[in-house]
Chains A and B, each alone.
Chain A
Amino acid sequence: MRLTSGTKVAAVVATTALLATACSGGGTGGDDAADGPVELTFWTWTPGIEKVVDLWNAENPDIQVTVNKQDGGDPAVTKLLTAIEAGSGAPDLMQAEYQKLPQLVSAGALADISGEVSGDLAGHFPDGVWNAVTLGSDAVYAVPQDSGPMQFYYREDVFAELGLEVPTTWEEYAEVARAVHVSDPTKYLGTFSANDAGWFTGLTQQAGASWYGIEGESWTVAIDSPEVRQVAEYWGGLVEEGAIDNKPMYTPEWNAALNDGSQVGWLSAIWAPGVLAGNAADTAGKWRMAPMPQWDASAPATGNWGGSATAVTSQSEHAAQAAEFVSWLNTDPVAVQALVDESGIYPADIPASTAALADPPEFFANQPDFYELASQTAQTANPFTYGPNINVAYSAYNDEFAKATEARTQDAFVEAVEAVQAATVADLKNSGFSVNE
């Protein structure tokens, strides 16, 4: 039997009807700026930020912002880049970690809002942080939200029990690590995590490394540099002799180790109290924060781990309103206070943060000068440049250092650094960037 033409027509009509309803049912709305308020969508993973945004929405009926929670870090960037590539589907506003900005800018995903924000915005932020959102140019690609200066977190009770001094240099850190492990073979002062490239980057930043650089019109890659090698050799040595654990962070196993006291220290960043409170609730009041151990005690330095900015995407049809919101979110005293209270972030804005950070985090109530000390360390952060394929460098780090921590030898750590450099340079060239070697 052949299909009658009537059946065919019915099928076509049905399909068309489906698509027509699909079109009218879809669309995120807010495209008609002329009538009704401007509607902005905001991709972010900051916890509790919808409450901060509610403050804005209540004050600004003409510019309504909707928060769309995303998976943190890489997944959100990948999704944004896909939407940019496809030509539609990107939000108006996007949270982006500092290290992702060069990649997003080179993909044309972010709008330059230098014309929309006030001229004195730069004065709100430390130079290094501001440089990260301008990429050293006259453009402004995002407004800094939070930063993550690194510090050393340790179990005060365990240190007291073992009679240990807080290490101020990396040499002392190694000695303390040995002492902790000798006292109880199940205990470690810390772990070398092959899963956390951002953490390792921060450690090398402290040592004076900058993974990328710009020479004229070309990129340079300096992952295989004396500073990075120094850090890798140091940690490779500690892992090889067994003084430091070689398991990754942020695993259930690591959470348990923090909670039961097998991990008695953590080289982390300013947001550590929130993570400790979530992962190691039983240890409340037993931790203390100190500045990072130093390579050169006469010139204290630190690195950054984490921290992000808020950007306006190139697909936004309301860049001016979006920029207005972004400036408010990250520099208005009320907004910054709310970010601290609701989201527990360490704001990048200097004028508003002094008032907002008067009290120590709840988990560190035993250390009243927590934020005072933090702000001192924050000022010692070394300059650092990220490149357009930091995602490749980070995933190469994960691969290569996973092998190195498995091998547990110092040589393997150094080889891993060389491999990350090679993979990063090769990919940068493949992507069509000019690279100076």
Chain B
Amino acid sequence: MSVRSATRPSVPATAILILGALYCLLPVAWVVLASTKSAGELFSTLTFLPSTHLFDNIAELVAYRDGLFWRWMANTALYAGVGAALSAVVSAMAGYALAKYRFAGKNAVFNVLLAGVLVPGVVLAIPQYLLLAQVELTNTYWAVLLPSIISPYGIYLARIYAAAAVPDEVVEAARTDGAGELRTFVQVAVPMMLPGLVTVFLFQFVAIWNNFMLPYIMLGDDKLFPLTVGLSGLLNQGASQPAMYTLVVTGALLSVIPLIALFLLLQRFWQVDLAAGAVKA
């Protein structure tokens, strides 16, 4: 009885979920279809009517100012890849330290961190700009990378994960066997924390990939721009210029492809993560 009711799909719930899926997927479908239209067709033909100009649009985008688009793509990959990797390293070290060591001010540090999770990054962009301006680092790769390395949320997540996934007994055993603190961390703790760190990496990667405000404020040189800032510039060329909608739509489509690929690649780590949690409970 209870089994049957659990397996039979509930009509209202399914309807709500389908609505939710449509709500999320329709804009994506729009981007895909709109990027196949020429500039003249974009706002004049039926919204969801596909056209045949996708490759023309891509060619035009690639030709824009000698392939600046690929430079933006590479910059974004650099900011997101290096930033997220460094952020995962810092989060792992800080999270492990907060979970496994006792030291003076530990709770204070953790509370400050919790407060930091609540402060949106956008609010910090201008103060960070003023600080980096004092060491003349604005308008460089470092201006976007340095602030991206520290992620309070990542450290918080790593701490929770380290506390749950790395048993004190294992750390003690490693020490008893003569491993130093660094070796215990790198060879014993990090492998156990890996699924959590992949999560931190992905979170931070997506956050940096989509970040607009920080690079927008920090960078003046358009060769350093990430995709978000570069594409926004194509839309805001002043009143005397038409906005390049087709280029931006096509650029937006191309810019999500690496993100989708990354998620598909790292998906199996997440499955491990979920499975591990399920068994433990």
Contact = CB atoms under 8 A, between A and B. Distances in A.
A250 to B, nearest CB: 7
Interface string A44-87: 01010010000000000000001111111101000100110111
Interface stretch (B2-10, B129-137, B200-208, B257-265): B129-137
A4 B242 contact: no
Contacts of A1: 100-102, 181
Contact of A43 (B65, B102, B146, B220): B220
Interface stretch (A219-227, A272-280, A371-379): A272-280
A119 interface: no
Interface in A274-308: 274-275, 277-279, 281-282, 305-306, 308
A196 interface: yes
A43 to B, nearest CB: 6
A63 B165 CA distance: 60
A interface, size bucket: 35 or more
B113 interface: no
Contacts of B48: none
A71 B240 CA distance: 13
A72 B126 contact: no
Given A256-B43, A282-B40, A26 B220 contact: no
B187 interface: no
A41 B221 contact: yes
A91 B43 contact: no
Contact of B103 (A3, A271, A277): A3
Given A22-B146, A26-B142, A27-B140, A87 B133 contact: yes
B242 A274 contact: yes
A171 B16 CA distance: 56
A83 B133 contact: yes
Interface in B224-252: 232-233, 236-245
A36 interface: no
Contact of B220 (A50, A68, A305): A68
B240 A271 contact: yes
A43 B140 CA distance: 16
Interface of B: 39-40, 42-44, 65, 97, 100-103, 126, 129-130, 133-142, 146, 181-182, 216-217, 220-223, 232-233, 236-245
15 contacts: A2-B101, A2-B102, A3-B97, A3-B103, A22-B137, A72-B238, A72-B239, A82-B126, A87-B134, A88-B136, A89-B133, A275-B241, A278-B244, A305-B239, A306-B240
Interface of A: 1-4, 7, 19, 22-23, 25-28, 41, 43, 45, 47, 50, 66-73, 75, 79, 82-83, 85-91, 97, 148, 196, 198-199, 250, 252-253, 255-256, 259-260, 269, 271, 274-275, 277-279, 281-282, 305-306, 308, 345
